[in-house]
Amino acid sequence: MTNIGVFDSGVGGLSVVNAIKKSIPSARIEYVEDRENLPYGNKTPDQLYNLSLPILNKLSKNNDAIVIACNTLTTNCIERLRSALPVPLIGMEPMVKPAAEQTKTKVIAVCATPATLASQRYAWLRNTYAKGVEVIEPDCSDWTAMIEGNTVDRDNIRERIDNVCDRGADVIVLGCTHYHWIEDIVREEAKGRATVIQPIQPVITQLKRVLKLPD
Ligand code: DGL
């Protein structure tokens, strides 16, 4: 029996759990969220590390691998967490590289939390893979609360998506697992002007590789 731990601050991770269940139906999945300290998107790297380490330590006891289903935690802490924990960690981070490869207009948008956008890892992704590409980072700082509270405001989403599309973005990166729940709305509001991407498939491929499961 393969045991997989999945961690996020809140409901974002559930979208990842659903996708793993579909791809690896035989696995036992232990999902843990840190709703008490939500949102993670406004925390510092040290706060994120200190909040998540005890939870991940516990999770590592019963699982063969852990998916950090949180871009905020991955981009701020994955290396420190890898050094501190005894099981492989599979992170999720904004798909800057694929977006930069796919764009024809040379303009992409990255929707992510303030802490992800402020992280060194994200700066590295941008500098390494998005040279010569304009990267728009719309203010999505209220989206986690909106999705957690089940108060999805279509006008809010339309305004952000119209703005990035009007500025020429033809690829929109969902860089927060909470936003997976509004992926269809984002795609509808893009109205064919931009493709919408998020990393669940590459993460599952990586997870299978780490667990030595067939593709
Ligand atoms: N779901 C998380 C992410 O992927 C963070 C949401 C939050 O707690 O702000 O970044």
The reported pLDDT for the residue numbered 1 is: 86
Residue-wise pLDDT tens digits, 65-124: 999 999 999 999 999 999 999 999 999 999 999 999 999 999 999 999 999 999 999 999
Q: Is the peptide bond before 39 cis (omega within 30 degrees of 0)?
A: yes
Ligand 1 pocket check for 38: Cβ under 6 Å: yes
Residue 173's DSSP bridge partners are: 110, 197
Mean pLDDT, to the nearest integer, of 185-196? 98
CA 138 vs CA 6, 165, 186, 204: distances in Å? 28, 11, 13, 27
Q: Residues 101, 45: contact at Cβ < 8 Å?
A: no
pLDDT over 90 at 172, yes or no: yes
- Determine if the pTM surpasses 0.75: yes
Ligand 1 pocket check for 91: Cβ under 6 Å: no
Nearest ligand 1 atom to alpha carbon 70 = 4
Residue-wise pLDDT tens digits, 9-18: 999 999 999 9
The reported pLDDT for the residue numbered 31 is: 98
208 C-alpha to ligand 1 centroid (Å): 23
Confidence of residue 133 (pLDDT cuts 50, 70, 90): very high
- Give the N- to C-terminal CA distance of the chain in Å, as an integer: 17
The answer to whether 70 is a known catalytic residue is: yes
CA–CA distance, 5 with 30 (Å, rounded to integer): 5
What percentage of the chain has pLDDT greater than the value 70?
Answer: 100
Mean pLDDT, to the nearest integer, of 31-41? 97
What is the DSSP secondary structure assignment for residue 131, as one 8-state letter?
A: T
Q: Residues 39, 113: contact at Cβ < 8 Å?
A: yes
Catalytic residue among 70, 77, 111, 165: 70
Residue-wise pLDDT tens digits, 139-166: 999 999 999 999 999 999 999 999 999 9
Query: Which amino acid makes up residue 100?
Result: A
* Ligand 1 pocket mutation pick from 47, 113, 174, 198 by most atoms within 8 angstroms of CB: 113
Query: Which amino acid makes up residue 154?
Result: R
110 C-alpha to ligand 1 centroid (Å): 14
Q: 146-150 — which CB contacts under 8 Å span 24+ positions?
A: 147/11, 147/12, 147/178, 147/179, 147/181, 147/182, 148/10, 148/11, 148/38, 148/39, 148/178
Neighbours of 102 (CB within 10 A): 13
